[in-house]
Amino acid sequence: MKAWVNGEFLPEEQVRVSLLSHSFSRGSAIFETFDVTETARGPALFRPDAHVERFINSAEALHVPLPAGKEELIDILKTAVRTNSMSSGGVKLFAYYSEPEFRLIPKERSAKLAVFCFELSGIFGEGCGESTKPLTAGMSTIRKSSPSFLPVHAKACGLYVGGFLALSEAVEQGYDDVIMLDELGFVAEGAVKNVFFVKDGAVITPKLRNVLPGITRNSVIEVARGLDLPLAETDVTPEQALASDEAFYTGTHIRVCPIRSIDGKEIGAACPGPVTGNIRAALNNAYAGRDERYESWLTYIG
């Protein structure tokens, strides 16, 4: 697939940054990932405005001046999807400094934009789409950063070292995925996923304090309301997580992904449980354009 870089389409392997660039050496690049979903009206970007708003917030948090505004960014994404003739898949948007820079504060503050399109199956296998297979999760000893240390609500490359280490620890212990706690000991999120729990029919998810404001987290809250399910954003203790009847991760490409066990303890009798199944079906309908209540979430490419 061809990458869009500052107004030009290039073969992906020709996109370069200096190893001395601020984005590489200090981890200051910011990014956003979008889902291209198949609908009866052709391919559509799922909630690109919400993703682009988060991208703009990430840029502000990292002091990266963006060379384009919201509408222009959405147009660039649509052009990249169209040029690569995608019917579904993923799109990754970056803003970054590409040139050599030794200073801690970059002198030349002109950020570039790059857009990469990719097929999901090649990268994530069965790990994304309408019916992701249930995962085992382990709670890591590595805590999620607090907003008083780092801008945890931003998607900046340097912020992902913590999640990378936490996930590595869980995988080394034999789990598929990880649940990170925050500095107070409450459940925060996965390395690149938000997390939800169900107890006695009620859905809970950790407050936004320490977690990325996931677009899918927000979509799940909306569809749960549409299903008249009780839902609360609240502090969740590890004990509550372990005692839940159902648990699931959320993310742009995985959508709703059931959690089968936590720290080796089976969660619920069936996986996915009934509430997870209903939320997943409702969200899949929204992605596919089958529920007109969520029609505004789709931006058609055609």
Positions that interact with ligand PMP (CB under 6 A):
33, 163, 189, 192-194, 212, 214-217, 250-252
Kindly state the smallest distance separating residue 162's Cβ from ligand PMP, in Å. 9
- Written as six digits, the tokens of 18 are 């200096």
Provide the minimum distance between the beta carbon of 214 and ligand PMP in the complex, in angstroms, as a whole number: 3
91: its two tokens: 């799109």
Nearer to ligand PMP, 256 or 271 (CB): 256
Q: Provide the token pair at 79.
A: 């052009």
Q: Which is nearer to ligand PMP, 106 or 163 (CB)?
A: 163
The secondary element (H helix, E strand) that includes residue 136 is: strand 135-139
Tell me the closest approach of the beta carbon of residue 194 to ligand PMP, in angstroms.
5
Give least dist CB 234 to ligand PMP, A.
Answer: 17
CB atoms within 10 A of CB 47: 25
SS3 state of residue 31: strand
The letter for the amino acid at 179 is I
* Dihedral sign, Cα of residue 201, residue 202, residue 203, residue 204: negative
The nearest distance, CB 119 to ligand PMP, in angstroms, is: 18
Helix (H) or strand (E) holding 261, with range, is: strand 255-262
Could you check whether the bond before residue 272 is cis, i.e. omega within 30 degrees of 0? yes
Place of tokens 């709670």: 139
Tell me whether residue 23 or residue 252 sits nearer to ligand PMP (CB atom).
Answer: 252
Nearer to ligand PMP, 78 or 144 (CB): 144
Task: Give the residue with the Cβ less far from ligand PMP, 28 or 194.
Answer: 194
**Measured from the CB atom, is 10 or 288 closer to ligand PMP?**
288
Strand order in the sheet with 42-46: 8-11, 2-5, 112-118, 89-96, 30-39, 42-46, 298-300
Amino acid, single-letter form, for residue 43:
P
With 0-12 / 13-18 / 19 or more C-beta atoms within 10 angstroms meaning exposed / middle / buried, residue 174 is: exposed
Q: What's the closest the beta carbon of residue 51 comes to ligand PMP, in angstroms?
A: 7
Nearer CB in complex with ligand PMP: 106/192:
192
Tell me whether strands 231-234 and 202-206 are parallel, antiparallel or unpaired.
parallel
Q: In angstroms, give the least distance from the CB of 251 to ligand PMP.
A: 4
